[in-house]
Structure 1
Amino acid sequence: MARLPDFEAWAVFAVVADTLSFARAAEELAVSKATVSKAVSRLELRLGARLFHRTSRRLSLTEAGRTARDDAAGLLAAGEAAEARARDASGAPRGRVRLAAPMSFGVAHLAPVLPDFLAAYPEVSVDLHLSDERVDLVGGGFDLGLRIAALPDSSLRVRRLCGVRRSLVATPAYLDGHGRPAQPEDLKAHACLGYAYLPTPDRWHFSNAADETVSIVPEGPLRANNADALAPALRAGLGLAVQPDFTIWEDLKSGRLERVMPDWQPPPIALNLVMPPGLPRPARVSALIGFLEKAFSEAPWAQPETAGQAPLPSPAEAQALT
């Protein structure tokens, strides 16, 4: 029987070739520098070729080292993937999930539910990145992203969690003092508070039950790239704003804010989970997907499914899709 490849030496060589440092490779692998050096020497002996040029100041790959580098990286990646699949199949989800979400929504609604997830899955950790800017999931190495929009077609896989109603709102005091607009054209006489990360921040779009659509150019004293920054001005009665229900549902319930122009609605949006393409999903990612589906489909501001929308998958279907 032929000798088995020295997989450990190949893996060590892959890390040294990537870092071009025996010391940094030893630190990454949590072993001694001597162990790293012996593994590389062992591989060189088996191959009958030197893999590195070594000087007191510099380490560089030889021609043989450059040829072997990609094969070594592939062996290391395949081994790590095999171990991850075996861990997922053998028990509880474990490992890190990288999740991106909008800033205001993440602070107000996502962060408060994560402790329950982490308690239910103690071997899973979440690396949460909050930003109102669109994040490149693939380039940023994210497993999942939450996006609140009517999403365009893309290579990303999308899971709709729930509908989100958007409404034009203002304080009763503002409306008592400035009048209640009945149709979009009336907004030209009102102070409008704008959100900069809308798809068309310089135009507000409305439609009615007859499928008529109207666009207006909002003008007012404040526009911000974070929804929370609009809240104080809105609650102080400085103008009207188009807001999603998850930011204002408590204000509406208490009467601090009032829906305006109920016959005209902004375009509907949804809370979506987006994922890079490719299967299968690690168990830790599937676990977080299932948890967020339940948490947000039952939120007090979530809109139920309506005719013409694809229903949310059942738990069994969700597991199959992930």
Structure 2
Amino acid sequence: MTPRFDCLQAFVKVAETGSFSEAARRLGLSKSMLSRQVSALEADLGVRLLHRTTRSLSPTEAGRAYLERCQRILADLEEANLQVSRLQAVPRGRLRVSAPLSFGIGHLAGVLPAFLERYPEIELDMNMTDRHVDLVEEGWDLAVRIGRLADSSLIARRLAPIRVMAAAAPAYLARKGVPHQPQDLAGHDCLTHGLSMTAEWRFAAEDGRSVDVAVSGRFHADNGDVLRVMALSGLGVVLLPSFFMGDDIRAGRLVPVLEGFVPQGATLNAVYPHSRHLSPKVRAFVDHLAESFGPEPYWDRGIAPPVRE
């Protein structure tokens, strides 16, 4: 005779807590009911599962082996129930998302209409900023981030590779020459990102070593879109993620350089607070982004091989 589910659950809870009283409290049952369920289970199996004394309660040898199997069975059942409930749940409600400014405007915004059409019960609240928002403290459901993730309290899902490229306008290269080694950049005007006219650019040599090169130039900015415009104007060499320059490279307005020394790439990630029960609206949004960008993002088509990792 197969033991009933409620008897299995009663035995597991009693064994885990070491107390009929505590197990009864957690299950919302009377102590006498719980005792009858465990006794019925032992009768069905024809074996004693628990040592009972006036001062202690512990599993027998057979009880310990049975407990381990029952715990796995109950965990599998819980996971199955959770998966079914997720399939049945309709994504709905307000979804608050933070994303980098340039990527958000240039690429993320383009895939949002299809998402909202697909899920009419979701209200989307977007925050475009390069500031790393505190998801928990500020109440955001998830963030789209580029690069390495240092916050281990967040769950990350990789959405797409981000290739970093060095490029310049044809007019600039005709005037200043084409760099063939990362060290050649010392003689070039480099458009740097940040607060300083000087910077270090890192490349990956063919043997796998990292090559750090000090660069400088007459222009720097804290925004990739501005640096791209300066590169198009022929003011120097720029080092940017390919999602800024894909159209320009395909059209010949910018020319990749140092392709044999592919700069170290990054990744596009969706990050969200740790939660065992991920809400349907967050899951739907993350899945949509993964489908929209994928392992070979559209901005890299026709311009470069995949990122070396």
Distance 2:211 2:98 in 1: 33
TM alignment of 1:120-159, pairs within 5 A: 120-152=118-150, 154-159=152-157
Could you tell me whether the CA contact under 8 Å between 2:243 and 2:299 is conserved in 1?
yes
Q: Deviations along 1:225-281, whole A, 9 cap, x unmatched?
A: 111111221100000011111111111111111110111121111111111112211
Q: Secondary structure at the match of 1:238?
A: coil
Aligned equivalent of 2:110: 112
Change (3 A) 1:302 1:283: farther
TM-score by length of 2: 0.66
Structure 1 vs Structure 2 CA RMSD:
2.4
Matched, 1:216 2:210: no
Give matches, 1:222-261, under 5 Å. 222-261=219-258
**Could you tell me how far 1:89 is from its partner in structure 2?**
7.8
Q: Closer, same or farther in 2 for the Cα pair 1:158/1:197, shift >3 Å?
A: farther
The structure with the largest alpha-carbon Rg is 2
* 2:123 alignment partner, SS class: strand
Identity rate, percent:
39
Alpha-carbon distance in structure 1 between the residues aligned to 2:195 and 2:121: 36
Q: 1:251 to 1:240 in 2, by over 3 A?
A: same
Q: Give runs of aligned pairs for residues 163-242 of structure 1, distance below 5 A.
A: 163-196=161-194, 202-242=199-239
Partner of 1:49: none
Q: How many residues align?
A: 220
Give the 3-state SS of the residue equivalent to 1:301 in structure 2: helix
Q: TM-score of the superposition, structure 1-length normalised?
A: 0.63
Compute the displacement of 1:224 (Å): 1.4
Partners of 1:194 and 1:241 within 8 A in 2 = yes
In structure 2, what is the Cα distance between the partners aligned to 1:216 and 1:267? 13
- Matched AA of 2:123: S
Could you list the per-position Cα deviations for residues 177-208 of structure 1 after superposition, in whole angstroms to 9, with x for gaps in the alignment?
1011111211111111112299xx83111111
Give the residue type in structure 1 aligned to 2:200: R
| Structure 1 unaligned residues grouped into runs of 5+ | 1-86, 309-322
Alignment check: 8 A CA contact 2:202 2:210 kept: yes
By how many angstroms is 1:140 displaced? 1.6
CA separation of 1:152 and 1:265: change in aligned 2, threshold 3 A: farther
**Structure 2, unpaired ranges of 5+:** 1-84
Change (3 A) 1:278 1:240: same
User: CA-to-partner distance for each residue in 1:267-321, whole Å, 9 max, x for gaps?
Assistant: 111111111112211111111111111001163135998897xxxxxxxxxxxxx
Residue 299 (structure 2) aligned to one of 290, 296, 301: 301
Distance of aligned partners of 1:142 and 1:245 in 2 relative to their CA distance in 1, 3 Å threshold: same
Of the three residues 266, 269, 273, the one matched with 1:272 is 269
Could you tell me which amino acid in structure 2 is paired with residue 172 of structure 1? Answer: P
| Cross-structure match for 2:16 | none
Aligned partners of 1:217, 1:134: CA distance in 2, in Å?
27
Question: Deviations for 1:100-156, whole angstroms, at most 9, x for unmatched residues?
Answer: 110000001011110110011011011111111222222221111111113336221
SS in 2 for 1:218: strand
The match for 2:287 among 290, 297, 318 is 290
Task: Assess if the C-alpha contact under 8 Å between 1:192 and 1:241 holds in 2.
Answer: yes
CA distance in 2, matches of 1:158, 1:221: 38
Aligned to 1:126, the other structure's residue is in SS state strand
Contact preservation (8 Å) 2:161, 2:297: no
Identify which range, 94-103 or 203-212, moves more after superposition. Answer: 203-212
